Amino acid sequence: MNKVEAKFDTNQVVISIKDLKKSFGTLDVLTGINIDIFKGENLAVLGRSGTGKSVLIKIIVGLLKPDSGVVKVLGQEVDKLDKKALQALRLKIGFSFQSSALYDSMTVRKNLEFPLTRNRRNLTKKEIDDAVEAVLDDVGLPQTIDQMPSELSGGQRKRIGIARTLILKPEIMLYDEPTSGLDPITCIEINNLIVEVQERYNTSSIIITHDLTCAKETSNRVAVMLDGKFFITGSFDEVFRSNNTDIKAFHDYNFINENEIIRE
Amino acid sequence: MDTFFVDIYSVSIFILQFFKEAFSGPFEFKEIVNQCYKVGSKSLALVSLTGLVTGIVFTTQSRPSLSVFGASSWLPSLVAIAVIRALAPLVTALIVAGKVGSNIGAELGSMKVTEQIDAMEVSGTNPFKFLVATRIIATTFMMPVLILYTGFVGMMGSFLNVYMNESTSFPAFIKSAFSSIVFLDIYASLFKALSFGFTIGVAGCYQGYNAQNGTQGVGRAANLAVVISMYLIFIEEITIVQIINSIR
């Protein structure tokens, strides 16, 4: 069932998080996250809504500041970087937003050109065109190049959002709910794309999701968040052997119902 | 009352950040030109119509009062003073606040709540410089152009009216109109224009850039951008007029 076959290097840590804490007012969202993510690894982070999964990846990319703890990305402590160094680091991180976050006023081509023209100012028009076409081929949507985001389906928007991050050839991918709001067929396509990205671009990824099928098919390792920290980490099968009621509920909701439907 | 002072503090920080980003490289010349074009093109039709109607109506309404004193020949001069000193700057600013200010508030608000601004930031672009600084510069420097244009169209409306009623020639109309206008009037109008444009840009960008709570927040940002701009424009108008009159 698991499609991830890429081997990852446990000697090379790309993201290291130590005792990370973050609160919003009186609400403690992250209460002590500790984890290392290795080169070439896909880590799926599971957890109930509001447990701070998205906050975690926003801290990793420097969109939010932690209250305490250390987050190192590619050996650099994110919170300590100046504006220029943070900008340089961000170019090595691809962030796929839950809402896709495509620029509404630009065509798909302009959306994809934008990060390139802003950050690689010495590229020729042909080099930019080639890069745009290549990345659109990679996500399987070359025909959408001149369409506006409003003309795309939810799944297409997700793919273009991923393509926009891939155009800078990131070393790390952060996916925020990549399959939320999509039909099952499109979910499978997105799952396949995440695995293809890992293989083709040799990325390390964090995949934030509620979708156990997505977690199972795209990740080498799963981490489950409870009460603001990782309750358990391990392979998908190891994690879901747990007797914890929340983890069982997650599993049963996704898979028992599915089996019952198949039997009927 | 606490939130009022918090807002004042936040806006002050926002304005300081604007000056920091606007005067430090790399400069976004292409985007500034793009935004100037948008400000101009969005306002042009309405500003033209309003300027023309203002000139015609003000001339029509002023004629009977001046005729009573046998002073109809002062009509171009009266219209020029009213249009250049007060009507063109104020009417143009209110139109731009409604058309452009609301658009900036809604556009940035929508980008904020759909995470487009975050997406821009994580892809290595400074969104404040690219989205905010360029729009404030565009509204500030396009406003004098639009106000001069409104003044010109308003005077043309007045000329049409005067020509049809009194058969005054164009050179005679212009000579009479500008006989009472001094350079201080032009400078004051340009100063007002810069001030109004900056206000509209800051109000629209601040509300949009800080929008929250989904689509409701976008509507609120667009609405507040217009309302706050208009209040501030009236306050600035009164203040600048008092200052200019004390100099005059």
pTM score over 0.80: yes
What's the pLDDT at A264?
Answer: 47
Q: Using the beta-carbon criterion (under 8 Å), do A104 and B124 form an inter-chain contact? A: no
Q: Using the beta-carbon criterion (under 8 Å), do B123 and A165 form an inter-chain contact? A: yes
Parallel, antiparallel, or unpaired: how do β-strands A42-47 and A204-208 relate? parallel
What's the pLDDT at A260?
Answer: 54
Q: What residue in B sits closest to A93 (Cα-Cα)? A: B122
Q: What residue in B sits closest to A112 (Cα-Cα)? A: B123
Confidence of residue A228 (pLDDT cuts 50, 70, 90): confident
Percent of chain A with pLDDT over 90: 61
Instruction: Tell me the pLDDT tens digit for each residue of B128-144.
Output: 999 999 999 999 999 99
Q: What residue in B sits closest to A95 (Cα-Cα)? A: B122
What's the pLDDT at A1?
Answer: 47
Q: Which residues of B touch A118 (CB under 8 A)?
A: 123-125
Q: Residue A91's closest CA among A21, A169, A143, A26?
A: A169
Pair B136, B22: CB distance under 8 Å: yes
What does the angle CA A84 – CA B23 – CA A110 come to, to the nearest 5 degrees? 65
| Omega within 30 of 0 (cis) for the link into A66 | no
Question: Which carries the bigger pLDDT value, residue A232 or residue A62?
Answer: A62
Instruction: Tell me the pLDDT tens digit for each residue of B100-124.
Output: 999 999 999 999 999 999 999 999 8
What's the pLDDT at A79?
Answer: 92
What does the angle CA A179 – CA A174 – CA A119 come to, to the nearest 5 degrees? 120
Q: Where are the domains of chain B?
A: 36-247
Mean pLDDT score of chain B: 92
Rounded average pLDDT over B203-227: 93
Instruction: Tell me the pLDDT tens digit for each residue of B49-108.
Output: 999 999 999 999 999 888 888 888 889 999 999 999 999 999 999 999 999 999 999 999
What's the pLDDT at B4?
Answer: 82
Q: What are phi and psi of B166, to 5 degrees?
A: -110, 0
Q: Using the beta-carbon criterion (under 8 Å), do A104 and B125 form an inter-chain contact? A: no
Q: Which residues of B touch A98 (CB under 8 A)?
A: 115
What's the pLDDT at A258?
Answer: 53
**pLDDT above 90 (res A9):** no
Parallel, antiparallel, or unpaired: how do β-strands A204-208 and A221-226 relate? unpaired
A63 touches chain B (CB under 8 A): yes
Instruction: Tell me the pLDDT tens digit for each residue of A105-134.
Output: 999 999 999 999 988 888 899 999 999 999
B48 touches chain A (CB under 8 A): no
Closest-CA distance of chain B to residue A88, Å: 7
**Count of pairs with CB atoms under 8 A, one residue in A, one in B:** 58
Encoded tokens for A115: 């990060």
Confidence of residue B6 (pLDDT cuts 50, 70, 90): confident
Closest-CA distance of chain A to residue B233, Å: 30
**pLDDT above 70 (res A257):** no
- Overall fold of domain A9-105+171-263: Rossmann fold (3.40.50)
Q: Using the beta-carbon criterion (under 8 Å), do B118 and A104 form an inter-chain contact? A: no
Pair A94, A68: CB distance under 8 Å: no
Q: Using the beta-carbon criterion (under 8 Å), do A164 and B123 form an inter-chain contact? A: yes
Instruction: Tell me the pLDDT tens digit for each residue of A39-98.
Output: 999 999 998 888 889 999 999 999 999 999 999 999 999 999 998 899 999 999 999 999
Instruction: Tell me the pLDDT tens digit for each residue of A191-223.
Output: 999 999 898 888 999 999 988 889 999 999 999
What's the pLDDT at B206?
Answer: 96
A87 touches chain B (CB under 8 A): yes
